[in-house]
Amino acid sequence: MLSDALLTPLQLTLCLLIYGAATLWALARVSWVELIADSRRQHLFYGSAFALAVLWLVRREFDSGLTMHFIGVTAVTLILDWPLALVAGALAQLALVLLGQDDVAALGANGVLRLLVPVLITVAIARALESRQPRNLFLYIFISGFFAAGLSAVGTVLGGMGLLHWSGQLQAPDSLVELFGYLLLVMFPEAFINGTVIAALIVFHPDWVETFNTDRYLQAPLDDDKS
């Protein structure tokens, strides 16, 4: 997360426009009738928004205005699918702004970094996997869960570095090896948290994961054995 002092007015405005447009598009794509009619889905939606807000409160703030925290958006995207995940993330961001934990001026920039980037990466990886119609559920857990979450963390860090470089606030690492070490530090914990959540839900409540194809991953192998 970045404070508004680290970015230029142009960056803040452009990020807000991008994030606002994406949020409006997500609102238009949500099946509100289905959400209102399904109490289980409502619980998952509000629970995800609350979980993101709490997770984002566990943070390490630096004097420079940079804040590090876990993202958790990959798991939420797989559970709710991307439109509802963006809306849940927007509610979590709004809660942090109201609590005084986030800068309202940097709402768009932080929304791009910790919501849009992880959602885009997660959706791209999940759809690439689904295009191959795999039947091994471990592929879903490790690729759509662990790998997508780790890559989302890397994408968020690199995106933040890009914004800071643009604003002239970036203090670059001394070498590529040092940069790679930083990326590993954020990649593995993020992958572990999201992947573990998805693995647990697949085992105990696969119907809670919207993007998980229960018929193919769980029932198809049994049907093949019977035949």
pLDDT tens string 4-36: 889 999 999 999 999 999 999 999 999 999 899
Q: What's the distance, CA 226 to chain centroid?
A: 39
Closest by CA to 206, choosing from 223, 219, 189, is 219
Picking from 21-30, 117-126, 178-187, 203-212, which range would have the lowest pLDDT averaged per residue? Answer: 178-187
Question: Per-residue pLDDT averaged across 102-114, rounded?
Answer: 93
Distance separating alpha carbons of residues 197 and 125, to the nearest angstrom:
18
Residue given tokens 């768009």 in the structure block? 108
**Helix, coil or strand: residue 67:** strand
Whole-model pTM above 0.85? yes
Residue given tokens 């885009």 in the structure block? 120
**Helix, coil or strand: residue 1:** coil
Question: 210, 79 in Cβ contact below 8 A?
Answer: yes
Name the DSSP letter for residue 100. Answer: T
